[in-house]
Each structure stands twice: as C-alpha cells, then as structure tokens.
A = this chain, B = another copy of it.
Amino acid sequence: MNAILVVGSVGYDSISTPKGHREHILGGSANYFSLAASLYAPVRVVGVVGEDYQAQHKQLLESRNVDLAGLQQVSGKTFSWEGKYEKDMNEAITLATHLNVFENFHPAIPASYRDSQVVFLANIDPVLQLQVLEQVKSPRLTAADTMNYWIHSKKSALLNVLERIDIALLNETELRELTGEWNTIRAAKQILQMGPKAVVIKRGEYGFVMFCQEQFYILPAFPVENVVDPTGAGDTFAGGFLGHLTQMNRPWTREDLKQASVHGCLLASFTVQDFGVEGIARVSGADLSKRLDAYRGVIS
C-alpha cells in the first residue's frame, strides 16, 4: 500500500527558547514526521511510549490519518528530552535526555505495516534501524536520518544502514562528523560513496542541499521572522520530503527529489513558528500552497 512507515521517538519535551518556555509538551521525531507526512499519505508509526502517554496525543495523530498500531505502550515512563536554545536558534543545547521506556525498545513491525512502500528511519540507534529494514518487504523507497551520538558510538552499524538505504537526510554537523570533511559539497559526494543514491543536507535557516545523479540542487529556507522553537524542524523536513515522494506513486526522479526538498523545507518553516508540534499540527494544504507561492517570490 502507498503508505509511509516511520520508526522513531515519541515523547515529551521541555524546551526553553528566547521566546519562552514549555514543560512536558508533545515531541519526538516520529510525531513531527507523522504530522508533516500525513498531509500527503497515510502514515504508520513504530515506536514505544510509557503508561503516562496521554490519550489526547494519540487522538491528535489518529485524527490526521496516522496509524498507531505499531506504537507499543509498556510499563514505565515515556521518553523525554529537555533542551534550550540561546540567541543562535540553529543549535539546540541538550540539558537532559531520559530514555525511559525507549531504553529497551525493539521495533516490532505489525503484519499490517509490512507492505509499506516508503520507510523512514528517524535518528534512533542504527542497530534498531537495521532491525526495521529486515522486517519490511521490498519497499519502493527507504530513507534514514541519524545523530552525532550514533556516529561516534555505533559507526559500523550506521555504515551498514547507509549501504542499504536509498536516501540519507542529515544536518551539516552530522555530515561533517560522518565524513570528516568540512566542505559540504565534497562531504555530500562522499555520502553517495557510502551507498545512498541521494543525500539531502538540512541547513536550518539556510535551507538545504540535495545531491543526486551528479547534480546539486540548493535552495534557502523560507524566511521566518518569528522563530519560536526550532525543535523538530529536521523531522518535519523529512516528513514533507517523503510525504511528497510517497504521493507520487511511481519511481522517483531527480525532479521529484527537488520538489520534495522544497516541500520539506517549507513544512519545517511552519514547525519553527510555534512551540513543539503546534505549528505543524495546524497546517492545512491551503497554508502550504500559499507558502509555496510566497517562496517562489523569494527565490525567483
């Protein structure tokens, strides 16, 4: 079926930014991803939550055509993250990470999910990312993100993941640490030597670099005057990117990847305009169309 499977974190965040503070709000890569991707196609979540996970948060996702059959609920507390941003909103400072029920998480893909055409492995342990790849049938498209912690602690598993996926989505810090190369253009080329057919570099307020079939495609982000909370922007980008590709319903072309990158970038611009998932949760197709038009005016 033309649905997207995502495996990632589902949790609660406490966030301070120059624009304010929020305690224990809905977060996690799988939630940001799902809220974005579900604007395009049905989304299926694999993850784990504890006993404290609130029914209203399941309902929010289900109201957006997100299937939670693969979201295990177990005894213990839900994953949580505390972080802050100072003047430079491009960089999150982690104050605390409580893995809680995530510590013993092993992804189990429900039988009803196995025919998913598109698979996104959010930035979880690459050993778990491999377990997911082994459980799905032959998807049309696989993509993965990672984070510096795994680059340093589980590099060989991560390299195995990269060998097996179609598209890597990374930010510039991850790109540098993974390749040892500071030049983004050279580093992007190195990633393709590791296995993926395409790489998308997320650059925050500077937009993105997409490299595929020997061709770079580079654009800035949508100009946002009031950045409230950048948390989840990268996962939102991935959701818009893969959502757009899933909707295409055919093997993707480079042109599709270009348009998908723009969709990812623009959806991320909604996420940063409010705390947590508030910004992306209220985006409609009409909002996105309007922003696509405004964006064309900015870049051409």
Contact = CB atoms under 8 A, between A and B. Distances in A.
A185 B225 contact: yes
A227 B183 contact: yes
B88 A182 contact: yes
A109 to B, nearest CB: 38
Contact of A218 (B182, B184, B209, B220): B220
Q: Specify which of A89, A185, A215 lies most central, judged by the most chain B CB atoms within 10 Å of its CB.
A: A185
Contacts of A87: 182
Q: Specify which of A203, A206, A207, A227 lies most central, judged by the most chain B CB atoms within 10 Å of its CB.
A: A206
A20 interface: no
Interface in A111-125: none
Interface in A213-266: 215-220, 223-227
Contact of A206 (B89, B189, B203): B203
Given A218-B299, A298-B218, A89 B223 contact: no
A217 B298 CA distance: 5
Interface of A: 87-89, 182-186, 189, 203, 205-207, 209, 215-220, 223-227, 297-300
8 contacts: A89-B183, A184-B205, A186-B225, A189-B225, A216-B298, A217-B298, A218-B223, A299-B299
